[in-house]
Structure 1
Amino acid sequence: MKAVLIFATLFIFISMLLNAFRNRGKLDDKANRAVAGLAGSMRFFVYGLLFFVGVVCLAVAYQSWRAAP
Protein backbone atom coordinates (compact mmCIF):
# COMPACT_ATOMS: atom_id res chain seq x y z
CA MET A 1 0.00 0.00 0.00
CA LYS A 2 2.90 2.32 0.73
CA ALA A 3 4.26 1.76 -2.76
CA VAL A 4 0.89 2.64 -4.30
CA LEU A 5 0.73 5.88 -2.34
CA ILE A 6 4.32 6.73 -3.30
CA PHE A 7 3.56 6.13 -6.98
CA ALA A 8 0.42 8.27 -6.78
CA THR A 9 2.36 11.09 -5.13
CA LEU A 10 5.10 10.88 -7.75
CA PHE A 11 2.52 10.91 -10.55
CA ILE A 12 0.90 14.03 -9.12
CA PHE A 13 4.28 15.73 -8.69
CA ILE A 14 5.39 14.92 -12.24
CA SER A 15 2.02 16.03 -13.59
CA MET A 16 2.38 19.37 -11.81
CA LEU A 17 5.88 19.86 -13.23
CA LEU A 18 4.77 19.04 -16.76
CA ASN A 19 1.81 21.38 -16.46
CA ALA A 20 4.12 24.17 -15.28
CA PHE A 21 6.29 23.73 -18.38
CA ARG A 22 3.18 23.81 -20.59
CA ASN A 23 1.93 27.01 -18.98
CA ARG A 24 5.28 28.75 -19.39
CA GLY A 25 5.31 28.05 -23.11
CA LYS A 26 8.66 26.26 -23.06
CA LEU A 27 7.41 23.35 -25.15
CA ASP A 28 6.71 23.21 -28.88
CA ASP A 29 3.32 22.17 -30.24
CA LYS A 30 4.03 18.41 -30.51
CA ALA A 31 5.55 18.24 -27.04
CA ASN A 32 2.66 20.29 -25.66
CA ARG A 33 0.12 17.78 -27.01
CA ALA A 34 2.16 14.85 -25.71
CA VAL A 35 2.38 16.38 -22.23
CA ALA A 36 -1.35 17.10 -22.24
CA GLY A 37 -2.10 13.46 -23.11
CA LEU A 38 0.29 12.18 -20.48
CA ALA A 39 -1.18 14.47 -17.84
CA GLY A 40 -4.67 13.27 -18.71
CA SER A 41 -3.74 9.62 -18.43
CA MET A 42 -1.91 10.24 -15.15
CA ARG A 43 -4.98 12.03 -13.82
CA PHE A 44 -7.23 9.08 -14.71
CA PHE A 45 -4.76 6.69 -13.07
CA VAL A 46 -4.79 8.68 -9.83
CA TYR A 47 -8.60 8.92 -9.84
CA GLY A 48 -8.84 5.16 -10.39
CA LEU A 49 -6.35 4.57 -7.62
CA LEU A 50 -8.33 6.75 -5.22
CA PHE A 51 -11.52 4.92 -6.17
CA PHE A 52 -9.83 1.56 -5.53
CA VAL A 53 -8.52 2.70 -2.13
CA GLY A 54 -12.01 3.94 -1.24
CA VAL A 55 -13.57 0.59 -2.16
CA VAL A 56 -10.97 -1.25 -0.08
CA CYS A 57 -11.63 1.04 2.90
CA LEU A 58 -15.37 0.44 2.61
CA ALA A 59 -14.83 -3.32 2.40
CA VAL A 60 -12.62 -3.31 5.50
CA ALA A 61 -15.12 -1.15 7.39
CA TYR A 62 -17.97 -3.47 6.39
CA GLN A 63 -16.01 -6.54 7.51
CA SER A 64 -15.19 -4.86 10.83
CA TRP A 65 -18.84 -3.91 11.33
CA ARG A 66 -20.06 -7.45 10.58
CA ALA A 67 -17.47 -9.01 12.91
CA ALA A 68 -18.48 -6.84 15.89
CA PRO A 69 -20.67 -8.71 18.39
Structure 2
Amino acid sequence: MFWIAVILIVGMGIGHDVLRDRNKRIIKERELSLKEQELHNEQLRLEVEKTKLEAATRYQQYLEYEEERKEQA
Protein backbone atom coordinates (compact mmCIF):
# COMPACT_ATOMS: atom_id res chain seq x y z
CA MET A 1 0.00 0.00 0.00
CA PHE A 2 2.86 2.36 0.82
CA TRP A 3 4.46 1.81 -2.59
CA ILE A 4 1.20 2.48 -4.38
CA ALA A 5 0.95 5.83 -2.59
CA VAL A 6 4.55 6.66 -3.51
CA ILE A 7 3.95 5.75 -7.15
CA LEU A 8 0.80 7.87 -7.25
CA ILE A 9 2.53 10.89 -5.69
CA VAL A 10 5.51 10.61 -8.06
CA GLY A 11 3.17 10.17 -11.03
CA MET A 12 1.18 13.24 -10.04
CA GLY A 13 4.39 15.24 -9.73
CA ILE A 14 5.56 14.18 -13.18
CA GLY A 15 2.12 14.93 -14.64
CA HIS A 16 2.17 18.36 -13.02
CA ASP A 17 5.60 19.10 -14.53
CA VAL A 18 4.41 18.02 -17.98
CA LEU A 19 1.34 20.25 -17.75
CA ARG A 20 3.39 23.19 -16.47
CA ASP A 21 5.87 22.84 -19.36
CA ARG A 22 3.01 22.54 -21.85
CA ASN A 23 1.35 25.65 -20.45
CA LYS A 24 4.62 27.60 -20.65
CA ARG A 25 5.01 26.56 -24.29
CA ILE A 26 1.44 27.60 -25.09
CA ILE A 27 1.97 30.98 -23.41
CA LYS A 28 5.17 31.57 -25.42
CA GLU A 29 3.38 30.63 -28.66
CA ARG A 30 0.53 33.03 -27.89
CA GLU A 31 2.94 35.85 -27.03
CA LEU A 32 4.74 35.26 -30.33
CA SER A 33 1.43 35.22 -32.19
CA LEU A 34 0.43 38.48 -30.52
CA LYS A 35 3.73 40.10 -31.51
CA GLU A 36 3.24 38.92 -35.09
CA GLN A 37 -0.26 40.43 -35.11
CA GLU A 38 1.06 43.71 -33.74
CA LEU A 39 3.73 43.84 -36.46
CA HIS A 40 1.13 43.07 -39.12
CA ASN A 41 -1.15 45.82 -37.77
CA GLU A 42 1.74 48.28 -37.81
CA GLN A 43 2.54 47.31 -41.40
CA LEU A 44 -1.08 47.89 -42.40
CA ARG A 45 -1.12 51.26 -40.62
CA LEU A 46 2.02 52.31 -42.48
CA GLU A 47 0.49 51.23 -45.80
CA VAL A 48 -2.60 53.34 -45.04
CA GLU A 49 -0.41 56.36 -44.24
CA LYS A 50 1.53 55.83 -47.47
CA THR A 51 -1.70 55.67 -49.46
CA LYS A 52 -2.97 58.85 -47.81
CA LEU A 53 0.25 60.66 -48.68
CA GLU A 54 0.11 59.45 -52.28
CA ALA A 55 -3.51 60.59 -52.58
CA ALA A 56 -2.69 64.00 -51.11
CA THR A 57 0.22 64.38 -53.53
CA ARG A 58 -1.95 63.47 -56.52
CA TYR A 59 -4.66 65.88 -55.40
CA GLN A 60 -2.11 68.67 -54.98
CA GLN A 61 -0.80 67.97 -58.47
CA TYR A 62 -4.36 68.08 -59.80
CA LEU A 63 -4.98 71.44 -58.13
CA GLU A 64 -1.76 72.82 -59.59
CA TYR A 65 -2.75 71.50 -63.02
CA GLU A 66 -6.19 73.12 -62.77
CA GLU A 67 -4.64 76.41 -61.69
CA GLU A 68 -2.22 76.38 -64.64
CA ARG A 69 -5.09 75.56 -66.98
CA LYS A 70 -7.12 78.52 -65.71
CA GLU A 71 -4.13 80.84 -66.12
CA GLN A 72 -3.62 79.70 -69.71
CA ALA A 73 -7.27 80.16 -70.57
Q: Work out whether 1:56 is the aligned partner of 2:40.
A: yes
Deviation, structure 1 residue 46: 0.3
Unaligned runs of 5+ in 2: 1-10, 57-73
Q: Work out whether 1:39 is the aligned partner of 2:29.
A: no
What is the root-mean-square deviation in Å for CA atoms of aligned residues? 1.2
Give the TM-score normalised by the residue count of structure 1: 0.60
Query: Deviations along 1:4-52, whole A, 9 cap, x unmatched?
Result: xxxxxxxxxxxxxxxxxxxxxxx70000000000000000000000000
Tell me, in whole angstroms, the C-alpha distance in 1 between the residues paired with 2:27 and 2:15: 18
Give the % identical residues: 2
SS of the residue 2:26 aligns to: helix
Which has more radius of gyration? 2
Higher relative contact order (CA 8 A, sep 6+): 1
Tell me, in whole angstroms, the C-alpha distance in 2 between the residues paired with 1:50 and 1:29: 31
Tell me, in whole angstroms, the C-alpha distance in 2 between the residues paired with 1:41 and 1:62: 32
Q: Which runs of 4+ in 1 moved over 4 A?
A: none
- Tell me the matched-pair count: 43
Deviation, structure 1 residue 57: 0.1
